[in-house]
Structure formats: C-alpha cells, structure tokens
C-alpha cells in the first residue's frame, strides 16, 4: 500500500450550504388546514388555515424565507375544507327542511 507524500495538500473542504429558514406560519397554515379537514370538515379551522397561509405568503415575499409551497397548500386545503363544510351544512339544512311535515298539508 502506498501513502501520499507528506507535502501534498488536501483538497479544500466544501463550502457550507446556506439553508433558508422555513416560515412558521406556513407550517401552521398547512397543519391547521389539514387537521380541520380531517377532524371537522374544515369549518372554522379552514378559514384560520387559509388566513395564516395568506399572511405567510406575504411574509415569505418580504423576507425570502422558505415555505411558499406549504403556505399555498394551506390556503388551498383551508378554502377547500370550508367549501366542503358549507356544502355539507347546506345539504343538512335542506334535508331537515324537506323532512319536516307541515301540519294540514
């Protein structure tokens, strides 16, 4: 086995990779939106998740943080959950109104 000569220089160490911080509101937006969709069809939590996502996207544009995709996903899931909730609530109301028998008819 041969060893390199002692006067040989080692290659330079790679430069450290600068990672961008992920915006916390983007993470919160996605978590709240998905949790609301799973737990209660996204009623109030859908609105909260969507608003958090909109605020997070604004901060990400200003600061250059990471997490724009999570914020967008939180917005989409939040509004989708709210629409599903409103459709289910409307169907529930219509069903109950149609199921009520009016006396005398």
Structure-token match 């040989």, residue found: 8
Distance CA 7, CA 37 (A): 65
* SS3 of residue 15 by DSSP: coil
How do the domains of the chain map onto residue ranges? Answer: 24-99
Tens of pLDDT, residues 66-93: 999 999 999 999 999 999 999 999 999 9
Which residues are registered as beta bridge partners of 22? 66
pLDDT value of position 102: 65
Whether the Cβ atoms of residue 48 and residue 32 lie closer than 8 Å to each other:
yes
| SS3 state of residue 23 | coil
- Please tell me the pTM assigned to this model: 0.75
Q: How many CB atoms lie within 10 A of CB 71?
A: 26
pLDDT tens-place values along the chain, 105 residues long: 666 666 667 778 888 887 889 999 999 999 999 999 888 777 789 899 999 999 999 999 999 999 999 999 999 999 999 999 999 999 999 888 877 766 665
């Amino acid at each position: 086995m041969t060893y390199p000569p002692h006067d040989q220089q080692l290659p330079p160490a790679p430069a450290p990779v600068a990672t961008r911080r992920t915006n916390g509101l983007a993470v919160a937006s996605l978590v709240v939106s998905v949790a609301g969709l799973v737990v209660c069809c996204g009623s109030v939590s859908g609105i909260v998740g969507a608003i958090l996502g909109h605020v997070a996207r604004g901060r990400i544009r200003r600061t250059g943080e990471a997490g724009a995709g999570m914020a967008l996903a939180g917005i989409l899931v939040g509004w989708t959950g709210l629409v599903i909730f409103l459709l289910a609530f409307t169907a529930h109301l219509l069903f109950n109104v149609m199921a009520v028998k009016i006396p005398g008819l």
